[in-house]
Amino acid sequence: MNNILISGASGFVGQNLSEYLTDAGHDVFKLIRGANTDSNEISWTNLSSFFTIDIDVIIHLAGKAHDIKNTSNPQEYFDINTGLTIKLFDNFLKSKATRFIYFSSVKAVADTVDGVLNETVKPNPQTAYGKSKLKAEEYIISKELPKDKHVYILRPCMIHGRGNKGNLNLLYKFVSKGIPYPLAAFDNRRSFLYIENLNFIIGKLIESNTAPSGVYNIADDESLSTVEIVKIISQTLNRKPNLWYVNQSFLKFTASIGDKLKLPLNSERLKKLTENYVVSNQKIKNALQITNLPVRTQDGLTQTIKSFNK
């Protein structure tokens, strides 16, 4: 059993992870922005108080998410994603905690992927979000670790599961209303990360005595195309998939109009739905000495879609 401190515990990933770790017998403490009102809460304003609790593991989830509408001040990403990470990591180095798990993002490496993204790719983020995540990674890596401490920088791709909100929900609503899917002409492949596979990896990293500190991509074992996802959604809804193979150039032109008129289909959303973004998870599986993650990509997506239906 470990005492685990989680920042961002109230978010989608944080809630699922907190429940998973609690069920596994760990004591979970939450790092919160306001004043603590419970014995299992620690405030950012009194961060050093966790020294008195003998925290074993720190999981840093809190951060400013990527704004697809591009309305955020770029400096906010660095103040939150970089600044808070530095603050928490410095306290980790001074504490008795032996593991620090930082949730970065694949966007800290690349906004688009040619081929398969692995940990040998030189980072070249194009957005303030990705740059702020990478800067936090670089700070962590620059520090010399005591022999008894381990640090894991995780770069997850798109995470989904019960309680998830995002582009997958939008696609589900689209298909569930019987609207034809007009992007079937795009033959893309993407990696996803089911929340139960993520929980499994975190549990293994907490228990492992062999996984070396380092940077790890996190993804499911298989990649899927958006057309395959539409088919999974349709199957879950007991419907025949309604696919339209509309000319790609016409769709890109329509999306450019959506940028100006603030329509649901804009260039950013079209890119997210149709681009290739395949992520390798081989390094983390080698570190954990496993062959496969417990849940297949198709099965995880089916469970997530069923949760939308409920």
Q: Which runs of consecutive H residues, i.e. helices, occur in 73-190?
A: 74-77, 83-94, 128-142, 167-176
CA gap 83, 224 in Å, rounded: 35
Q: Which residues pair with 5 in a beta bridge?
A: 29, 58
Q: Is the pLDDT of residue 44 over 90?
A: no
* Domain contains 254: no
Quote the pLDDT of residue 74: 85
Task: Give me the number of domains the chain comprises.
Answer: 1
Give the mean model confidence (pLDDT) for residues 132-143. Answer: 97
DSSP 66-94: P-TT--S-HHHHIIIIIHHHHHHHHHHHH
Q: Is there a domain that residue 264 lies in?
A: no
Residue 287 lies in a domain: no
Query: Which of 18-22, 39-43, 168-172, 177-181 shows the lowest mean pLDDT across its residues?
Result: 39-43
- What's the token pair of residue 138? 């670089």
Q: Is 11 inside any structural domain? A: yes
Count CA atoms closer than 13 A to 178's CA, side-chain side: 0
Task: Decide if 89 is inside a domain.
Answer: yes
- Residue 118 falls within a domain, yes or no? yes
At 202 the pLDDT is 98
DSSP label at residue 264: S
Residue at 99 is within a domain: yes
Using DSSP's 3-state secondary structure scheme, residue 194 falls into: strand
Q: Are 305 and 236 in contact (CB under 8 A)?
A: yes
Q: Which amino acid is at 171?
A: L
Flag whether pLDDT at 112 surpasses 80.
yes
Averaged over 4-12, what is the pLDDT? 93
Measure the CA–CA gap between 192 and 292, rounded to whole angstroms. Answer: 15
Torsion angles phi and psi, residue 267, rounded to 5? -65, -40
255: its two tokens: 């999306």
Residue 35 has pLDDT above 70, yes or no: no
Q: Read off the pLDDT of residues 51-96 as tens digits, 9 standing for 90 and up.
A: 778 899 999 999 988 655 555 688 999 999 999 999 999 999 999 9
CATH number at residue 86: 3.40.50.720
Q: What pLDDT does residue 66 have?
A: 65
The Cβ of residue 51 has, within 10 Å, a number of other Cβ atoms equal to 13
Interacting residues of 289 by C-beta distance below 8 A, sequence separation 6+: 210
Domain hosting 129: range is: 3-156
Average pLDDT, the chain: 91
